[in-house]
């Protein structure tokens, strides 16, 4: 999967998420069917489901907050299964959770099999402005560095203020401000180093060849999504 | 604050993408017009900086909680609204891809809710007018806190609207709003304080780095000479925020058990209070079956989606897919090792 | 971009420079350098070494005097030309490596000069071979060790095949093995090299000629062996004898 063209993978991912999000809140069985893509991606791409689930933690609070009240608010019984009333709210809560779950997994499949540079290349192909793409690449490149710096600052601070839980308000300005100024100085050096290697405000990205399989892959998946969405195979 | 893909309907997401993309288009043109290639690496490094500061915990005095830096305000105070906006887009995209914070579909909404308000409203309507005649510490505090509070309020309001328009929640508008706004009032105030502290430091160390500071040296009134003192400004805003917060929560708690109340009173009639164009468009695209739950579904065709057999059937297909994927992987591997040999 | 110029690649006459009025950083500097020379630029902190290097690559243009690189006067009009001839290895490798993989970063310069993809590929391979890190080409920049980062940063410059390579404190923060490795690699590079360093042992191993700067002026210019063994001269300008001569 890593060798497929990044644009194809990006398209599949976006189309998948759009399809999932477009399902009606009661369309539970069709949504379950949509699991075919994450299942394929995780098994064939040999990804860790644990890692995928762990990524849920950031969006979970808002999704849960939004969905958790549905069973209380929408109490209309859709049907009885084994004598238990199934209400619209119960179903819509489950579909909401599934949607959240699927979209996070789909994005994970994309990022785990495609590097940021490749995604940036795909973005260039769909005419996202150059400035934007360069900025994204730079953010990605320097995020790790800055993260380490943040850790060092936090550690240095903690070692001298062992009883505090975070950074005291008196140190907010100087601590982060110093770091900010250093970052801007670094940005200037980065700029100089780019300039000295012929940078003229434009980043040249080499073209990639498109193999047939890279064409078939997105087309096949998008067809499958359309079929599931249209309810054509909802024969049950 | 980051919205997830699950919370937005494609029509809402699409609309927000169009809005955000237009703002981005304007920004790209503005940045191009400024023609300052030096800005590009600064944008990248500053984006990473804002990103990384979220790893630091700032203790809020008097409480056990902690806060973060207000990214949009911070970026536009240094880069200006246009470059700041583009940088925030970059930050949001990397956050959504790398950390699953937000989502690809909801990206348009998140850009609008956080970057647009933070950079355009924050920088053009608040920061710039306040700094028109030069900066002082108090003015920086005023602009930062006001900017963070206001832009976060707008953002939270948009989250509410977008979620409701997407029709994924049964929460009534008023309840949702009453729980979103006060929380973000507090968050905005704290983020504003942190942003103030950092920007004042920058102002004292390298004032030329701040964007949109009008006036010359005479504009730089020292705090004692200025009408506002830093301390008083912060206190004044805190009092104002507390009063606003109080009113909102009074309003919210006027119904002691807001949810209970709304379940009885509102459910079934107020899934959405919004009416008209956008909503109709969203509804139209979303599903041919009726979107507003009119609860006529009982045992009708529409409920087929949840029928027991339907779910079992779907699970069977997914199960087959698991098998097929393993088979695919198996043959791929075999193929790979054969060609490698 | 070898020009085949065998005369002076660098010509500096009566060069003076100040950032702000009244704060003279360089004062009447005169200096020539020829192809394939390796020159150490030494001096205490803050005496204008880095400023001199940045002037050579045209990062500051408001200087007085003559400053010529490969026969071109350093001015705004000639900047692109000059930068094809001269490469600068920054002290901070992090600033130099701004793309996510090594090979992309090394290819950045050649691509900017509009070379074909085959030519870019050839340059990248050759440059990485010269610094012995060809096997790291696909590696993410942030995963590299400090020593690897330095070598990668040098490769980004070598890929542009400059006539002149400037290195700012290349041995800083390297462990003994990486430092030794770097010495070997530098001695294999045949372009004109200007190396600034406080590590005088490093200068002894890599440079035949040494220039001593202090207070914006050239104090001494001659064979490394002579200058670095002159205790009185070095100590008079805030430096000490190389460790091996102490």
- Residue C166 sits in a domain whose CATH number is 3.40.50.300
What is the average pLDDT across B297-321? 59
Instruction: Using DSSP, state whether B64 is helix, strand or coil.
Output: coil
The answer to whether the CB atoms of C111 and A204 lie below 8 A apart is yes
Yes or no: say if C166 and C53 are a contact pair by the CB < 8 Å rule.
Answer: yes
Find out if CATH 1.10.1760.20 is the number for domain B5-26+37-327. Answer: yes
* Stretch (H or E) spanning C209: strand C209-214
C242: left (phi over 0), alpha (psi -120 to 50) or beta: beta
Residue C122 confidence (pLDDT) above 90: yes
Task: Tell me the percentage of chain A whose pLDDT exceeds 90.
Answer: 5
CB contact under 8 A, B44 and A132: no
Cβ contact (<8 Å) for C88 and A145?
no
pLDDT of B268 above 50? no
Residue of chain A whose alpha carbon sits nearest to that of B1: A62
Distance separating alpha carbons of residues C220 and C231, to the nearest angstrom: 13
Among chain A residues, CA nearest to B320:
A36
Distance set, CA C54 to CA A179, B169, C39, C61, C164 (Å): 25, 60, 16, 10, 13
pTM over 0.80: no
The mean pLDDT of C181-202, rounded to a whole number, is 92
SS3 C148: helix
Which chain A residues are Cβ-neighbours of C141 within 8 angstroms?
141
For chain C, say whether A190 makes contact (Cβ under 8 Å): yes
Residue C57 in any domain: the answer is no
Residue A35 is encoded by which pair of tokens?
A: 């699991």
d(Cα B55, Cα B312) in Å, to the nearest integer? 44
Q: Residue B7 contacts by C-beta under 8 Å, 6 or more apart in sequence?
A: A62, A63, A66, A96, A100, B106, B162, B163, B166, B168
Sheet strands side by side (includes C217-223): C86-89, C164-168, C192-196, C38-42, C209-214, C217-223
Task: Give the neighbor-by-neighbor strand order of the sheet with C72-73.
Answer: C24-34, C8-18, C64-69, C72-73
Q: In this complex, do A206 and C90 lie within 8 Å of one another by their Cβ atoms?
A: no
Domain count, chain C: 1
Compute the average pLDDT of residues B232-244: 61
Report whether pLDDT(A94) > 80.
Answer: yes
Where do the domains of chain A lie? 6-114+209-230, 124-196
* pLDDT (mean) for C53-68: 90
CB proximity A186 to B under 8 Å: yes
The full set of domain ranges for chain B reads 5-26+37-327
Which chain A residues in 56-115 lie under 8 Å from chain B, judged by CB atoms? 56, 58-59, 62-63, 65-67, 69-70, 72-79, 81, 86, 88-89, 91-92, 96-97, 99-101, 103-104, 107-108, 110-111
Judge: B205–A181 Cβ closer than 8 Å, yes or no: yes
How far off is chain C from A164, nearest CA to CA, in Å? Answer: 31
Partner A contacted by C19 (CB < 8 A): no
- C240 located within any domain: no
Which of the residue ranges A20-24, B191-195, B259-263 would you say has the lowest mean pLDDT? B259-263
Identify the helix (H) or strand (E) that includes residue B194: helix B173-205
Q: Is the pLDDT of residue B126 over 60?
A: yes
User: Residue C224 — pLDDT band, cuts 50, 70, 90?
Assistant: very high
Among A142, A184, A193, A208, the residue to mutate for chain C (most C Cβ within 10 A): A193
**Alpha-carbon gap, residue C243 to C45, rounded angstroms:** 19
One DSSP character per residue, B7-63 reads G--HHHHHHHHHHHHHHHHHHHHHHHHHT-TTHHHHHHHHHHHHHHHTTS-EEPTTS
The confidence score (pLDDT) of residue B280 equals: 44
Q: Which domain holds residue C180?
A: 30-46+64-196+207-223
The pLDDT mean for chain B works out to 72
Whole-number pLDDT of residue B313: 67
Give a yes or no: residue C185 inside a domain. yes
Q: Give chains near B: 3+ CB pairs under 8 A.
A: A
Task: Report which DSSP code applies to B264.
Answer: H
C109 in a domain, yes or no? yes
């Amino acid at each position: 999967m890593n060798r497929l063209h990044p644009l194809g993978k990006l398209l599949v991912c976006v189309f998948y998420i759009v399809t999932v999000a477009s399902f009606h809140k009661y369309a539970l069985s069709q949504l379950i069917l949509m699991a075919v893509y994450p299942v394929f991606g995780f098994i064939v791409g040999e990804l860790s489901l644990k890692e995928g689930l762990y990524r849920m933690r950031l969006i979970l609070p808002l999704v849960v907050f939004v969905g958790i009240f549905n069973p209380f608010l929408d109490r209309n019984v859709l049907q009885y299964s084994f004598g238990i009333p199934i209400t619209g709210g119960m179903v819509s809560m489950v579909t909401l959770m599934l949607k959240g779950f699927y979209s996070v997994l789909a994005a994970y499949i994309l990022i785990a099999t495609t590097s940021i540079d490749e995604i940036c290349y795909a973005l260039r192909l769909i005419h996202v402005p150059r400035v934007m793409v360069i900025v994204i690449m730079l953010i990605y490149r320097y995020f790790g560095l800055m993260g380490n710096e943040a850790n060092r600052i936090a550690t240095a601070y903690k070692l001298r203020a062992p009883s505090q839980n975070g950074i005291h308000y008196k140190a907010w300005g100087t601590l982060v401000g110093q770091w900010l100024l250093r970052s801007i100085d670094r940005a200037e050096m980065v700029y100089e180093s780019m300039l000295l290697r012929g940078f003229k405000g434009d980043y040249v990205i080499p073209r990639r060849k498109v193999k047939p399989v890279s064409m078939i892959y997105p087309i096949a998946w998008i067809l499958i999504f359309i079929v599931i969405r249209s309810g054509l195979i909802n024969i049950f | 604050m980051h919205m997830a893909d699950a919370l937005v309907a494609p029509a809402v997401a699409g609309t927000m993408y169009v809005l955000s993309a237009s703002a981005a288009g304007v920004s790209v043109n503005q940045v191009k017009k400024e023609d300052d290639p030096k800005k590009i690496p600064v944008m990248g490094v500053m984006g990473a900086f804002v990103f990384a500061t979220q790893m630091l915990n700032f203790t809020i005095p008097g409480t056990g909680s902690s806060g973060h830096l207000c990214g949009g305000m911070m970026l536009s105070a240094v880069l200006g609204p246009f470059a700041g906006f583009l940088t925030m887009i970059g930050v949001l995209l990397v956050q959504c891809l790398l950390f699953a914070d937000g989502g690809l579909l909801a990206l348009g909404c998140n850009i609008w809710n956080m970057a647009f308000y933070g950079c355009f409203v924050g920088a053009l309507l608040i920061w710039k007018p306040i700094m028109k005649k030069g900066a002082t510490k108090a003015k920086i505090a005023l602009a930062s806190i006001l900017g963070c509070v206001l832009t976060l309020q707008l953002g939270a309001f948009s989250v509410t609207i977008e979620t409701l328009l997407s029709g994924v929640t049964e929460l009534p508008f008023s309840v949702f709003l009453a729980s979103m706004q006060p929380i973000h009032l507090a968050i905005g105030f704290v983020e504003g304080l942190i942003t103030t502290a950092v920007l004042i430091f920058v102002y004292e160390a390298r004032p030329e780095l701040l964007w949109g500071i009008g006036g010359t040296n005479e504009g730089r009134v020292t705090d004692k000479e200025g009408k506002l003192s830093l301390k008083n400004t912060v206190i004044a805003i805190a009092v104002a925020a507390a009063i606003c917060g109080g009113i909102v929560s009074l309003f919210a708690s006027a119904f002691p058990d807001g949810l209970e109340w709304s379940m009885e009173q509102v459910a079934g009639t107020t899934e959405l209070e919004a009416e008209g164009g956008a909503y109709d468009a969203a509804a139209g695209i979303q599903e041919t079956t009726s979107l507003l739950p009119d609860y006529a579904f009982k045992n009708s065709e529409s409920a087929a989606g949840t029928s027991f057999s339907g779910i079992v059937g779907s699970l069977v297909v997914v199960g087959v897919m698991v098998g097929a994927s393993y088979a695919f992987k198996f043959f791929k591997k075999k193929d790979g090792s054969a060609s490698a040999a | 971009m070898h020009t085949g110029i065998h005369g002076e690649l660098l010509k500096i006459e009566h060069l003076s420079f100040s950032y702000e009025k009244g704060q003279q950083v360089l004062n009447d500097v005169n200096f020539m350098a020829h192809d394939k020379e390796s020159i150490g630029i030494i001096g205490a902190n803050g005496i204008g070494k880095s400023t001199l290097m940045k002037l050579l690559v045209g990062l500051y243009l408001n200087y007085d005097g003559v400053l010529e690189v490969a026969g071109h006067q350093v001015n705004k009009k000639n900047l692109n030309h000059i930068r094809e001839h001269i490469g600068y290895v920054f002290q901070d490798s992090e600033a130099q490596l701004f793309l996510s993989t090594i090979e992309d970063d090394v290819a950045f310069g050649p691509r900017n000069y509009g070379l074909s993809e085959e030519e870019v590929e050839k340059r990248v391979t050759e440059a990485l071979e010269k610094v012995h890190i060809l096997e790291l080409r696909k590696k993410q920049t942030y995963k590299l060790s400090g020593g690897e980062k330095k070598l990668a940063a040098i490769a980004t410059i070598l890929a542009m095949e400059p006539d002149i390579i400037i290195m700012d404190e290349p041995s800083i923060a390297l462990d003994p093995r990486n430092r030794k490795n770097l010495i070997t690699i530098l001695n294999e590079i045949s372009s004109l090299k200007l190396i600034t360093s406080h590590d005088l042992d490093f200068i002894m191993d890599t440079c035949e000629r040494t220039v001593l700067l202090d207070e914006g002026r050239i104090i001494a210019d001659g064979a490394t062996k002579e200058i670095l063994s002159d205790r009185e001269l070095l100590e008079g300008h805030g430096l000490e004898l190389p460790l091996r001569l102490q």
